[in-house]
Amino acid sequence: MSLDFATFAIVVRDGRVVDAAPIARWAVGKPEQRVADHFRSKGAEFVPLP
């Protein structure tokens, strides 16, 4: 994920965030869609990693 001020990763399994960089630690345990909506509202760009 990339914002104007940071680029970082979040790890999702079964629709929930299971790990995240310290800047997004609050997202751990939350639904993927809720987290994605939040970051998109901040202008984030998502790039899936294999």
Q: What is the mean pLDDT of residues 11-24?
A: 94
State the DSSP code for 30.
Answer: S
pLDDT for 25 beyond 80:
yes
List b or e across 17-42, with b for residues whose CB sees 16 or more CB atoms inside 10 angstroms. beebeeebeebeeeebeebbeebeee
pLDDT of residue 17: 96
pLDDT of residue 5: 86
pLDDT of residue 49: 81
Count of structural domains, the chain: 1
For residue 11, the enclosing domain spans 1-50
pLDDT over 70 percentage in the chain: 100
pTM, entire model: 0.82
